Structure 1
Amino acid sequence: MDCSAFRFLDHQQKAHFVSRNPITFLDSAPFCSTELGHCLQANKMEAEPVNVSEFQELVKLALPKMYYDFYAGGAEDQHTLEENVKAFQRILIRPRVLIDVSRTDTSTTIMGYKTSAPIMIAPTAMHKLAHPEGEVATARASATANVIMVLSFSSTCTIEEVASSCNAVRFFQLYVYKRREISAFMVQRAERNGFKAIILTVDTPRLGRREADIKNKMVAPQLKNFEGLISTEVNTDKGSNLEAFASGVLNASLCWKDIGWLKSITSLPVLIKGVLTREDALRALEVGVAGIIVSNHGARQLDYSPATINVLEEVVVAVQGKIPVLFDGGVRRGTDIFKALALGAHAVMIGRPVIYGLAAKGEHGVSQVINMLKDELELTMALSGCCTVKDISRSHLSTEIDRLHCRL
C-alpha cells in the first residue's frame, strides 16, 4: 500500500488502520514516519474519490480482510462476479445529437412511489461489519437522496431501528426459513413498521460456495432481529459460520406454490428477486407477483450463471410490461444504469458500492455513492439526447447480439 491509496482515508480510518497494522504498513510504505505524519494530517487537502470504484480501494484498507472478502467475494471461481461488471462494457451507447437537453430529469416512479432517480439500495447483509451505525446510516442516506432502500433480512439493525431512523419509503427483503413462522413474524413486523413491499429472495435454497468466507472462517454477529427466535451461534470448525447457519435454516423445499402462502399473510405487494430466465419470468406472472428483480445474487450463489445484464432483455420481453422488472448486479457507473433502463428495467439496485461508501465514510459515503451515480446518469442522459428517464429506449444501445445480426 502506498500514500496514493492511503490519502483517501479520513483521520479516524487512518489511525484505525495504522493501529492495526503498524509494522506491515511501515514496512510496505515507501516513505518515512515524517511523511506518514504529513499524510495523516493532510486529509482536508486530499482528493476525494471521483467514482464508486475508488471507494472499493479505500475499503481494502479500512476493513479487516475477513469482512472485506465477505462483501467483495463471489462464488467459487468468481467468473460470474467478474462478468457482472464486464458484460456492461460490451454494450455500446448510441447517442442522439441536436436535442435540447438544457433540462434533464432523472426522477421516476417505482411501484407507485416517486423517487429522485431509478436507483434503489439493494438488500445487503450486516452493515455494522462495515460501519458502527450500520443500516441506520444507509437508511438515512437513502432517505436524503430520495431513493428506495431494501432492508436485508440479515440486517444488523432491527426493523424498528431502521423504521424510526428517518421518514422514507422502504421495502423489506425476505428469506423463507424452515421454521416458516419466523419469516411470517418478520413480514408482520415490516408491515407494522411502514415498509411498503416484500422482496422475496428465491435463488437461495442453499448457500453458494463462497470460498473466501470458508478460508477466513467468517464469523457473523448475532442478529438483533432474531433475538429470542433463533441463534446464529454454530460450529465453524469446517468453515464459515454463515455456511453452517444457512444449511440449518434455509428452506430448500420452497417452491412456486409458496408464493400464494406469502401473499396470504400480508397486504403488501410481493416481488421476487433472483429470476434469470424467460421461463421463470412467465411462472412469476402466473403466480401473481407484483414485480420481478433480475438478479444472480451478486454472483454469490451459482458461479457460471449469466451476467444479469445479459438476460435482462429476455425477462423484459417475456413480461411484456405486465409487471415492473427491476435489475440487480454489476452496476458501477451511470452509464450502466442507462444501459439497464434502455434494456427495459424500471430501476436498478446498488449493492456493493453502497457498502463500500458506508465502510469508507459512513452515511456521508453512502450519500456520495448515490449522488455520483445520479450525476453520472444525468450526464449520460444529456450526452445521449435524453431529457427524461422515459426518453431512454432500446434504440440507444448496441449489444453484441445486435452487432452480430448486422454482420449476417
Structure 2
Amino acid sequence: MPTDPPAACLADLAERARAVLPADVWDYVEGGSGAEVTLRANRAALDRVAVLPRMLRGVHTPDLRVELLGRPSALPVAVAPMAYQRLVHPDGEWALATAARDAGVPYVASTLASTAVEQVAATGAEVWFQLYWLRDRGLVVDLLDRVGAAGCRALVVTVDVPLLGRRLRDLRNAFRLPAGVTAANLRGGRGDLAHGGAPGVTPVATASAFAPALRWSDLDWLRGRTDLPLVVKGVLDPRDAVEAVGVGADAVVVSNHGGRQLDGAPASAAVLPEVVAGVGDRCEVLLDSGVRSGTDVLRALALGASGVLLGRPLLWGLAAGGRAGAGRALSILADELRDALTLAGCADPAAARNLRTMRTD
C-alpha cells in the first residue's frame, strides 16, 4: 500500500492536518478574528523582511543552541501556549510536550489546556506556564501554587485577552468544544465553563471567567507572588514593553495572539524592531504570530528577537501524527533554521541578530 512521503515543510503538515480534522475544528485552529486582516498581515509582514546574508564567514555547521530566560534551549524556539490540544489529537498536550522535550525546547502550557499542568510537567519537558488572569483571584493563586509545585520554569502572563476577539468562523460554525475536552487546569468543577453558553457565542466559554480590567498594578502584584521568570505576552506598543520592564518582566512577547484578538492590530513582525529598541538590553524579546519556517526564525532574529514562539504548525503536526507528527514539525524547523543560518553566514543565532534587513514591497 503506498504511503505519503515524509513532510518536507510545515505547509505539508498543514495539508495533512486539514485532511484529518473536522471542518469546524480546522476553522477553530486556523481562524482569526473579524475579517482576519491581522491574521493575513502576520504572514505578509514576515514575507516582506529580506535578510542580507554575509559571505565568506567560514560557517559550516551552525550551533543552534541558545539560552532563553537563562536556561538552555536547543533552538531559539518555544512552543506557544495553545488551548485544548486534545481537540486535534487524543494525546493532546502530553504528546506535544513530549515532542518539545525530545527536541530540547521549552513548552508553554496554557491555562486552558485540556491536560492538567501536573501531567504536562511529568513529561520532563522544560515547561513554562501561561496564565490567563481570572476574575476569581483565588483561582489565580491556586494556579500559581500548582505551577510552582509542578516545577514549571517560567510564568507567561497573557495580557491581550480582556475578552475574546469575535471569531466569525466559529460563530458561523456554531462551534462547541466536545464533551471530552475541558479546561483541565480549572479546579473545583470550573472546567465545565468550557461548555457553557449558546453554540457559536464563543468557542471558549471560559472567557467569561477572564478579568477584563487588568492593570499594570496587577502584574506588580504577580511579580511579588512568584520568583519564576516573568514573561509578558501580547505586547505590540513599545510603551507597553517599557511598562512591562518596569514591573519586573524578564521577557516580553511581541504578539497579536495569532490574529485572533484585535483585528486591525499590526503584524507582530512589523513592530518588533521598535519594541527591541524600546527595551534595549533590559529584557528578552520574543516574537509570536505568523512564524511558519526556519527562515522566519532567522528573520525574527535579524529583527532583534531572542527567539520565537511557534504555534499553529505544531498543532498541524500533532493532528497529522500525534507525538511523532509534532516531533517532525520541530525537526523540520531545526533543519530549515540550520540551512538558513548557514546560507546567511551565521555560526549561531546570536550572529543572526547582527544581520541587516530590508523591507521589500
Q: Same fold judged by TM-score > 0.5?
A: yes
- Whether the aligned pair in 2 keeps the contact of 1:69 and 1:212 (CA below 8 Å) is yes
Between Structure 1 and Structure 2, the one with more helix by share is: 1
- Whether the aligned pair in 2 keeps the contact of 1:205 and 1:253 (CA below 8 Å) is yes
Give the direction of change, closer, same or farther, for the CA distance of 1:389–1:95 in structure 2 (3 Å limit): same
How far off is 1:183 after superposition?
A: 1.7
How far off is 1:396 after superposition?
A: 3.2
Is 1:336 the equivalent of 2:293? no
- 1-structure distance, mates of 2:116, 2:91: 12
Which of 103, 110, 135 is the equivalent residue of 1:145?
A: 103
- 2-structure distance, mates of 1:180, 1:219: 27
- 2-structure distance, mates of 1:388, 1:395: 12
Task: Point out where structure 2 has 5 or more consecutive residues left out of the alignment.
Answer: none
- 1-structure distance, mates of 2:210, 2:233: 16
Identify the residue that residue 197 of structure 2 maps to in structure 1. Answer: 235
How far off is 1:95 after superposition?
A: 1.1
Following superposition of structure 1 onto structure 2, how do residues 2-401 of structure 1 map, counting pairs within 5 Å? 41-43=1-3, 46-164=4-122, 166-220=123-177, 221-230=181-190, 231-232=192-193, 233-237=195-199, 239-242=200-203, 244-246=205-207, 248-400=208-360
- 1-structure distance, mates of 2:125, 2:50: 35
Query: How many residues matched?
Result: 356
Determine what percentage of the aligned residue pairs are the same residue: 35
Give the direction of change, closer, same or farther, for the CA distance of 1:163–1:393 in structure 2 (3 Å limit): closer
- Whether the aligned pair in 1 keeps the contact of 2:223 and 2:247 (CA below 8 Å) is no
- 1-structure distance, mates of 2:241, 2:225: 23
- 2-structure distance, mates of 1:99, 1:268: 39
How far off is 1:241 after superposition?
A: 4.4
Give the counterpart letter for 1:81 in structure 2: L
- Whether the aligned pair in 2 keeps the contact of 1:123 and 1:152 (CA below 8 Å) is yes
- 1-structure distance, mates of 2:75, 2:293: 14
TM-score by length of 2: 0.95
Q: Which moved more, 1:214-223 or 1:301-310?
A: 214-223
**3-state SS in 2 of match to 1:142:** helix
- Whether the aligned pair in 2 keeps the contact of 1:285 and 1:319 (CA below 8 Å) is yes
- Whether the aligned pair in 2 keeps the contact of 1:216 and 1:240 (CA below 8 Å) is no
- 2-structure distance, mates of 1:224, 1:303: 29
- Whether the aligned pair in 2 keeps the contact of 1:139 and 1:162 (CA below 8 Å) is yes
- 2-structure distance, mates of 1:179, 1:144: 36
How far off is 1:87 after superposition?
A: 1.1
Give the direction of change, closer, same or farther, for the CA distance of 1:65–1:327 in structure 2 (3 Å limit): same
Give the direction of change, closer, same or farther, for the CA distance of 1:243–1:114 in structure 2 (3 Å limit): closer
Give the counterpart letter for 1:292 in structure 2: V
- 1-structure distance, mates of 2:244, 2:225: 18
- Whether the aligned pair in 2 keeps the contact of 1:234 and 1:241 (CA below 8 Å) is no
Identify the residue that residue 30 of structure 1 maps to in structure 2. Answer: none
- 2-structure distance, mates of 1:214, 1:176: 24
Identify the residue that residue 6 of structure 1 maps to in structure 2. Answer: none
